[in-house]
Amino acid sequence: MANYYRKAFCEVCAREFAYEEFEKPDLEEISTSEDYSLKITRHWKCKYCGNEKLITGSEGFVTTKGEKMGFSSLVKIPCKNCGKTTAYEEYKKPDVKKNDG
């Protein structure tokens, strides 16, 4: 509740619980070979003075990078286009995203 209060307090007109979401949140998933992250940006607008602010965070989602599969398990996987069996770094177990809230 305290976290919501800080997000909903307008610093311009000094009113409590003044902000409302006026747009759908922007979700950005970033997956590289070393890291996986989820960034959520919410758009808030004060219903009294019209002040707008953006709040970005993970919102309780825990993300983990999928483990790379061993070379021996990749040798048996043929390419869908050419049929060759060559290992690539991109072959890995899926990235994980879960909400612990």
Spatial CB neighbours of 83, under 8 Å, sequence gap ≥ 6: none
pTM of the full structure? 0.59
Phi, psi of 8 (to 5 degrees): -95, -5
Please write the tens of the pLDDT for every residue from 61-90. Answer: 888 777 766 655 556 667 788 877 765 555
Residue 101, in any domain of the structure? no
Residue 14, in any domain of the structure? yes
Domain count, the chain: 1
Are 55 and 71 a contacting pair, CB within 8 Å?
no
CA 31 to chain centre: 10
Residue 97, in any domain of the structure? no
Spatial CB neighbours of 55, under 8 Å, sequence gap ≥ 6: 7, 41, 42, 44
Structural domain boundaries, residue 31: 2-92
Across the chain, which has 101 residues, the per-10-residue mean pLDDT values are 65 89 87 80 91 88 73 65 66 58 45
Residue 100, in any domain of the structure? no
Residue 84, in any domain of the structure? yes
Residue 99, in any domain of the structure? no
